[in-house]
Amino acid sequence: MEKQRYSMRQNWWKILAIGLLLYTLIAGLLMDVPRLPILNETIRALHFHVTMWFGMILMLVVSVVYSVKYLRSNNLEYDDLAVEFANAAILFGILGIATGMLWAQFAWGDFWSGDPKQNASAIGLLMYFAYLILRNSLIDDHQRARIGSIYNIFAFAAFIPLIFVLPRLTDSLHPGNGGNPGFNAYDLDSKLRMVFYPAIIGWTLLGSWMATLRVRARRINRVLEDRFLNP
């Protein structure tokens, strides 16, 4: 019984993640939404497309923090966390673009219209694909971690203005860009907020869960390799 209680205390955030995501799926698809021009029912995609990207940004922040910690300590455990949070963020970035394309098809009439924010998001993801390719091209663990950490920091510094600043300087179909009013100017009312904010927390916790599982597997593999090479 005591072991079960300890497990519950340790894993409360995983239970919270499952609960929030179930709530997001059910409420996001079934709860009443504002009837806005053009958007209509498609505004439900807000709870998936936008919130996944918020989760992605939060995970990239965590990844950069651990990259900085690695550079200060040379501790490979920090690098494990940096790369796996980046992996989880990339996955959510891909899912965010995919759900955004579905939303664009219904709202704008095309999956990919060459919108500046769409293009910037794709370029940003390519930058992080390059991060993974660069890491995998290096053999030495510490060299991979050091170069990867430096790249990760600069990639994040370029990614944020790329997707949040530059699209606002030109015409864009996305709300809040190029003179196009944001959702607050429409009606991001209390019903939408009731799902929107829990969804951000849920996706972020899910990504963190995935990252920590992969970190554990990475560390087990390192131990096994060390034992095999140095019996």
In this prediction, residues 204-225 reach a mean pLDDT of 90
Distance (Å, rounded) from C-alpha 39 to C-alpha 173? 12
The b-or-e profile of 125-141 (16+ CB within 10 A means b, else e) is bebbeebeeebeeeeee
| Residue 32 pLDDT | 77
Domain, as residue range, for 28:
2-229
Residue pair 144/150 in contact (Cβ under 8 Å)? The answer is no
**How many other CB atoms sit within 10 Å of the CB of residue 106?**
14
Q: How many domains does the chain have?
A: 1
What does the radius of gyration of the chain's CA atoms come to, in whole angstroms? 20
Q: What is the pLDDT of residues 131-147, one digit of tens each?
A: 999 999 998 989 999 99
**pLDDT digits over 160-205, tens only?**
998 888 777 776 666 554 444 455 544 455 678 888 899 999 999 9
Helix intervals (H) in the chain? 2-10, 12-30, 49-73, 76-107, 116-136, 141-164, 183-186, 190-229
Q: Rounded to whole angstroms, how far apart are CA atoms 98 and 114?
A: 15
What would the pLDDT profile of 12-65 be if each residue is shown by its tens digit? 889 999 999 999 999 888 887 776 666 666 778 888 888 999 999 999 999 999
Interacting residues of 8 by C-beta distance below 8 A, sequence separation 6+: 15
Per-residue model confidence (pLDDT) at position 23:
93
3-state secondary structure of 187: coil
| DSSP-based three-state secondary structure for 93 | helix
**pLDDT tens column, 91-107:** 999 999 998 888 888 77
Q: Which residue has the tokens 């958007």?
A: 39
pLDDT band at 10 (very low <50, low <70, confident <90, very high): confident
